[in-house]
Amino acid sequence: MLGVYVHLPFCPYLCPYCDFAKWPMRATSARRYLDALYAEIEREWPAPAATVYLGGGTPNAYDAPAIAQLLARVRARFPGAGELSIEINPELVRAGDFPIYREAGITRISIGVQSFVAGEIETLGRKHTAAQIEEVVALARAARLPSVSLDLMFAVPGQNAQSWRRSLSAAIALDVDHVSAYGLTVEEGTPYAAWRARAPDVFFDDAREAELYALAIELLAAAGYEQYEISNFARPGHRCAHNLNYWANGEYAGLGVGAASYREGVRSLHTRSLEEYAAAALAGRPIPSEAERLEGRRRAGEAMMLALRTAQGVGLSEFKERYGIDVMTDYAPVVARFARTGLLERIGDTVRLTQRGRFLANDVCGAFLTFE
Ligand code: SF4
């Protein structure tokens, strides 16, 4: 199956922790960017797709008719998708947006909430209110959008178990279909990195962060959400198929500035320069990109790393068939080390992280990636 990702990089303001390819919304650049995207889409070889995902940036910095037009173009090139998602920023939602999204085929909205607590929302540089989030979920339900997801963030400076519980409980009370809960990562070069250099104690250490992660797992499980990936929780029937395809090491086509693709064993990454991207796309030149072919042990290591993120883990027979690697033999020292320390378990034909292993997933996954 093929997943199609479309990057819409404009935001109404820039959050100080963010490391994505994004720019402040300016009408002229946003219009030119859409033209560039259309030009790139027209050059794509038509192929059936299983999922389409509009991410950003803030896709709904564009108005709903522009989103509908873009989706129509994407779907003409990549027909057949059963799941069409859009990331949205709650305070930009206008009353009539969701019926237009629904009409355009969107089946899933992912709302960038991060927190329901006013002080944390401010610390993160976001501008919405808890009331706006509730309103957006109600609008999505009224428009009968099949899946509503919220993104939440923990280990935010100033947060504690009580305030994190408030955000989780608020999400659960809204009865959303899916919750993504990510720990804050401080990326080099962002204003948050400078803040951490000045005031390291404001930021969470691993142990305190793990306490908040444990609280998320506990509360979401009690409310009937299945943890189907390290950071993702879904009610039955609401897993994100687009992301599941990434974790299954499936193929995806990335359109737009900074977008990544993985097709026929080659991973490529478009330039992160908005000007370079737009100029090349509009002139009909190849988009400047970096590409590498993933082969052999490297390809298998990536696949292990991705599959271990999921609750399902790695299917041993299927893995051997697909990559020619016998996990229990070829990765024997790594498997033995993490099985001994209780982070990895084998159940029948599957190897997966234990509940404890989920807290140290980066260490375990990284070891498979770098094992020679
Ligand atoms: S809205 Fe999202 S993409 Fe835009 S700056 Fe904030 S975190 Fe980054």
Inter-axis angle of helices 161-173 and 206-222, nearest 10: 30
Q: Where in the chain are the domains?
A: 2-245, 296-370
Q: What pLDDT shows up at residue 95?
A: 87
**What is the residue with the minimal CA distance to atom 7 of ligand 1?**
18
Q: Is the pLDDT score of 370 beyond 90?
A: no
pLDDT tens digits for 295-306? 888 899 999 999
b/e burial code for range 225-262 (CB count within 10 A of at least 16 → b): bebbbbbbbbbeebbbbbbbbbbbbbbbbbbbbbbbbb
At residue 135, the pLDDT reads 97
Cα 7 to ligand 1 centre (Å): 12
- Buried b or exposed e, range 65-98, using 16+ CB within 10 angstroms: ebbbebbeebbebbeebebbbbbbbbbbbeeebb
Average pLDDT over residues 221-236: 98
Among 26, 54, 58, residue to substitute to test ligand 1 (most atoms within 8 Å of Cβ):
58
DSSP structural state of residue 310? B
Was domain 296-370 assigned CATH 1.10.10.920? yes
pLDDT digits (tens, 9 = 90+) for 28-48: 999 999 999 999 999 999 999
**pLDDT, mean over the chain:** 96
Using an 8 Å Cβ cutoff, are 261 and 203 in contact? no
Mean pLDDT of 135-147: 97
Confidence of residue 252 (pLDDT cuts 50, 70, 90): very high
pLDDT at 371: 84
pLDDT of residue 332: 94
Question: Tokens 């009865």, residue?
Answer: 175
Query: In CATH terms, are 2-245 and 296-370 the same topology?
Result: no
pLDDT at residue 359 in the model: 95
Rounded to the nearest angstrom, the distance between the alpha carbon of 44 and the centre of ligand 1 is: 28
Q: What is the pLDDT of residues 81-132, one digit of tens each?
A: 999 999 999 999 998 999 999 999 999 999 999 999 999 999 999 999 999 9
What value does the mean pLDDT take over residues 162-171?
A: 98
Closest by CA to 30, choosing from 59, 57, 10, is 10
Q: Residue 164 C-alpha to ligand 1 middle, in angstroms?
A: 21
Find the 351 Cα to ligand 1 centroid distance in Å: 35
Using DSSP's 3-state secondary structure scheme, residue 79 falls into coil
- For residue 260, what pLDDT is reported? 97
pLDDT at residue number 296:
86
Whether 59 is in the pocket of ligand 1, judged by its Cβ within 6 Å, is: no
Model confidence at 1: pLDDT above 90: no
Q: Residue 204: its pLDDT value, please?
A: 97
Q: Tell me the average pLDDT across 176-201.
A: 97
The confidence score (pLDDT) of residue 297 equals 86
Q: What is the pLDDT of residue 372?
A: 78
Comparing CA positions, the residue from 31, 20, 99 lying closest to residue 58 is: 20
Is 344 a pocket residue for ligand 1 (Cβ < 6 Å)? no
What's the CATH fold of domain 2-245? pyruvate-formate lyase- activating enzyme (3.80.30)
The share of the chain scoring above pLDDT 70, in percent, equals: 100
Ligand 1: centre distance to CA 15 (Å):
5
Give the CA radius of gyration of the chain.
Answer: 21
Helix (H, G, I), strand (E, B) or coil at 366: helix
